[in-house]
Amino acid sequence: MSSQLQRRRRQRRTGSAAPDQPIPAEAWLALAAATGAAALLQLDGTVITVALPTVAKDLSVSTAASSTVLTAYFLPYALLLWPGGSLVDRFGARLVGLLGLAVFAAGALCGALAPSFAVLVAGRVIQGAGAGLVSPAALAGAVSRFPPAKRGTALGIWGAAAGISNLVGPLLGGLLTALGGWRAVWWALLVLAAGAGWAVGRLLPAGPRGERQPAAGAFGGVVRSATAVAALTFAVMIGSFFLAEQYLQRTAHYSALAASAALLLVAALVGLGAPLAGRLADARGERLPALGGFALAGGGLAVLAVPDMPLHSPATVLPLAAVGLGLGLLFVPTSRAALNATPQSLHGRTSALLSAGRLLGAGVGAGLAGLAVGAVPTAGHVHLALLVGCLACLLVGLPVAARLGGEPAPERRGRAAG
């Protein structure tokens, strides 16, 4: 009885609903707005990739120099995450999200009108700064009206949208570039940012939620483990898809659009895996879907790493499906475990740590994959790199995932109260 009373008092302090109460419509609307903002950031990180050769030709720069457009986005993105998370905890997700989207839109407009490559890069820096503010606001806002016991459901939707956007971005970039030139990509980002800003302004709750608490000592082992899982997930995902894109285009001679389309199955399975992981995490805790995700992804990569395995034939469908579903299962457990391990007043900074882990993992994965394929991505190089990804999932991912929560949130809180 005493544990139930303590739980009710805790729910009254945090504003959380009891686990068995229905989710109000406002929670779903806030989730939709936050999901749209998060998907925009993931899309932006990949949608311009296909347009870079056209950018280089039109603005008279080398192909190597055009990669600066990517670096110019991700560096300020990473640097602004922690300040952005702190602002979310102080002023709320809606205000910071609107500010970030306004900055992002200004950068997109600068890029769409850029008369020179230097102006285009400056616009990307502005976009990255806006993304660093939006990212923690989007994740914190997604769960702002959900009780801890049902955050897996919300994060499943959030993760599915973000994951699919990250993978279909090159396909959309190819279509826009083919239809309207590279500037069409930046105009599309401007329109999408305006739509996301409207939704955030109308649907996210105003002001911070929960009593302010100091961050010192609040981020324990669960948050650190969740951040490590997030980093490894994105290292494997971005590294594997970078390998696939490079091999299919430069060795198998696929077009950029065809190479991106060939990976749509994996994108769809990532989207399917995230909601499934959310339901599993709410019912059984975060450990089960995290372990399953690394086991599936590692198993699929192990098959693809076999030296005689063809890399651009129908035989790759099944192992690719396992990789896609496994990666999809890893999106939700990290966010749910970290957010449920910290008070709501620190969700902005918790979200910033998770986003920083994902960015670091993406950078490491892409960098290692680039080193692995070298000047000409042969099948042997790709097989070896995929084997390294498999070992990372099985030897590093599984032990770290085992440190995430093994029980649903209500039981953990109940035991702590008792």
Q: Are residues 203 and 226 in the same domain?
A: no
Q: Are residues 139 and 259 in the same domain?
A: no
Q: What is the pLDDT of residue 366?
A: 76
Q: Are residues 397 and 268 in the same domain?
A: yes
Q: What is the pLDDT of residue 58?
A: 87
94 is in which domain, residue-wise?
Answer: 25-149+180-207
Please say whether the beta carbons of 347 and 217 come within 8 A. no
Pure H helices in 113-150: 117-142
Cβ burial of 161 (10 Å; 0-12, 13-18, 19+) is buried
Q: How far apart are CA 173 and CA 125, in angstroms?
A: 19
Q: Are residues 124 and 189 in the same domain?
A: yes
Please say whether the beta carbons of 304 and 386 come within 8 A. yes
Q: Are residues 305 and 395 in the same domain?
A: yes
User: Which of 135, 123, 158 has the alpha carbon at shortest distance from 78?
Assistant: 135
Q: What is the pLDDT of residue 401?
A: 93
20 assigned to some structural domain:
no
Q: What is the pLDDT of residue 120?
A: 93
Q: Are residues 327 and 236 in the same domain?
A: yes
How many domains, in total, are found in the chain? Answer: 2
Q: How far apart are CA 142 and CA 243, in angstroms?
A: 32
Q: How far apart are CA 205 and CA 184, in angstroms?
A: 33
Q: What is the pLDDT of residue 102?
A: 97
Please say which residue of 172, 207, 242 terminates a domain.
207
Sign of the torsion formed by the C-alpha atoms of 123, 126, 128 and 134: negative
Per-residue pLDDT of the chain (418 residues; tens, 9 = 90+): 444 444 444 443 333 444 456 788 899 999 999 999 999 988 887 788 778 778 888 888 876 677 788 788 888 999 999 999 999 999 999 999 999 999 999 999 999 999 999 999 999 999 999 999 999 999 999 988 888 888 998 998 888 887 678 667 877 888 888 888 889 999 999 999 999 999 999 999 887 765 666 665 567 788 999 999 999 998 888 788 777 766 776 677 777 667 666 677 777 787 888 889 999 998 888 999 999 999 999 999 999 888 888 777 777 778 888 988 998 899 889 999 999 888 888 899 999 999 999 888 888 887 787 777 665 667 787 888 889 899 999 999 999 999 987 666 544 444 333 3
| CATH assignment of the domain containing 65 | 1.20.1250.20
- From residue 217, alpha-carbon distances to 220, 221, 342, 346 in Å are 7, 10, 10, 12
Q: What is the pLDDT of residue 291?
A: 95
372 assigned to some structural domain:
yes
Q: Are residues 279 and 334 in the same domain?
A: yes
Q: Are residues 123 and 245 in the same domain?
A: no
Q: What is the pLDDT of residue 413?
A: 44
344 assigned to some structural domain:
yes
Q: What is the pLDDT of residue 316?
A: 78
Please say whether the beta carbons of 86 and 208 come within 8 A. no
Q: What is the pLDDT of residue 377?
A: 67
Q: Are residues 121 and 197 in the same domain?
A: yes
Q: What is the pLDDT of residue 136?
A: 93
358 assigned to some structural domain:
yes
Question: What distance separates the 2 farthest-apart alpha carbons in the chain?
Answer: 73
User: Which of 148, 174, 203 has the alpha carbon at shortest distance from 47?
Assistant: 174
173 assigned to some structural domain:
no
Cβ atoms within 10 Å, residue 250? 15
Q: How far apart are CA 79 and CA 129, in angstroms?
A: 8
Q: What is the pLDDT of residue 241?
A: 75
Q: What is the pLDDT of residue 202?
A: 93
Q: What is the pLDDT of residue 13?
A: 38
355 CA to centre of own chain = 7
Q: Are residues 202 and 225 in the same domain?
A: no
Please say whether the beta carbons of 383 and 172 come within 8 A. no
Please say whether the beta carbons of 19 and 147 come within 8 A. yes
Q: Are residues 139 and 251 in the same domain?
A: no
Q: How far apart are CA 225 and CA 341, in angstroms?
A: 11
Q: What is the pLDDT of residue 407?
A: 60
289 assigned to some structural domain:
yes
Please say whether the beta carbons of 173 and 50 come within 8 A. yes
390 assigned to some structural domain:
yes
pTM: 0.80
Q: Are residues 227 and 188 in the same domain?
A: no
Cβ atoms within 10 Å, residue 416? 11
361 assigned to some structural domain:
yes
DSSP 397: I
